[in-house]
């Protein structure tokens, strides 16, 4: 592949992704990916919280406003939540939020929610790689100029 085609394919060679991990499953899964020396792109900035339900929709929106190209939220599988029902709350909250983000024009590819258990290191690496690859194809996220010019 020549260099030029590579450049046109990846519009954004370095996407910034904010990754929210829960302490009990996904965080452990990410640790396992590290100790098992699985390769995944360094474009993610992990933020560990006690439970995925700790993440307020406002955190996600502010991540985008501060310049993130994507936000990935990971939590325990259904039924595995350390706090019993935390991930159900995350699910409901984030599915309404993703609908809302779609309405204001944020591509659904930029916002993802997945469940990763403590043993699923491979799934973790795969999810992160897939998301980074997808965002490389999109232009960097920029907030469009709103303002009062005439139509």
Partner 1 sequence: MKKINLAIALGATCAGCDVAILDLNEKILEVFDLVDFKFWPTAMDFKIDDLKNLKDGEVDVGIYHGSIRTTEDAEIAKILRKKSKVVVAFGACANFGGIPSLANMPYEKSMFDVVYKDVPSMDNPEGTVPQTSITIKGTELTLPGIRKDADALDAVIDIDYYVPGCPPMVPLIEQVVEVLKVFASTGQLPPKGTVIADTKTLCEECGRTKPEEISFKDFISPQEVQEIDPDLCLIPQGIICMGPATRAGCDALCTKMNVGCRGCLGPTDKVKDHGLKMISALTSLLDVDVEEDMSEEELHKVVDKIPDPLGTFYRFTYGKSLIYNLHSEEEIK
From the list 9, 48, 6, 4, the residue with the least C-alpha distance to 29 is: 48
Q: Is 101 in the site for partner 1 (CB under 8 A)?
A: yes
Give me the least distance between CB of 29 and partner 1, in Å please.
19
Q: Is 8 in the site for partner 1 (CB under 8 A)?
A: no
From the list 42, 50, 33, the residue with the least C-alpha distance to 124 is: 33
Q: Which of 78, 120, 122, 126 binds partner 1 (CB under 8 A)?
A: 78
Using alpha carbons only, give the angle 111, 18, 94 rounded to the nearest 5 degrees.
35
Bridge partners, residue 18, by sequence: 45, 71
| Torsion on CA atoms 71, 60, 101, 12, rounded to nearest 10 | -30
Burial of 51 (0-12, 13-18, 19+ CB in 10 A): buried
Q: Which of 20, 26, 44, 93 binds partner 1 (CB under 8 A)?
A: 93
Q: Which of 11, 34, 79, 137 binds partner 1 (CB under 8 A)?
A: 79
- Which of the residues 26 through 65 are near partner 1 (CB under 8 A)? 53, 56-58, 61-62, 64-65
Binding part of the chain for partner 1, among 31-39, 83-91, 117-125, 128-136 by CB under 8 A, reads: 83-91
DSSP letter assigned to residue 14? S
Give me the least distance between CB of 3 and partner 1, in Å please.
26
Residues interacting with partner 1, by CB under 8 A? Answer: 53, 56-58, 61-62, 64-65, 78-79, 85, 88-89, 91-93, 95-97, 99-101, 103-107, 139, 141-144, 146-151
């Amino acid at each position: 592949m020549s260099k030029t085609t590579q450049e046109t394919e990846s519009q954004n060679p370095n996407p910034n992704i904010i990754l929210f991990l829960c302490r009990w499953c996904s965080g452990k899964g990410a640790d396992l990916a590290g100790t098992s020396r699985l390769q995944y792109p360094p474009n993610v900035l992990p933020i560990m919280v006690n439970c995925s339900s700790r993440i307020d929709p406002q955190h996600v929106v502010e991540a985008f406003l501060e310049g993130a190209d994507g936000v990935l939220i990971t939590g325990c599988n259904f039924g595995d939540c350390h706090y019993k029902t935390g991930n159900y709350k995350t699910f409901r909250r984030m599915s309404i939020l993703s609908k809302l983000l779609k309405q204001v024009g944020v591509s659904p590819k930029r916002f993802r929610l997945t469940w990763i258990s403590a043993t699923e290191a491979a799934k973790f690496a795969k999810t992160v790689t897939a998301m980074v690859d997808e965002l490389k194809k999109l232009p960097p996220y920029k907030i469009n100029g709103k303002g009062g010019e005439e139509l």
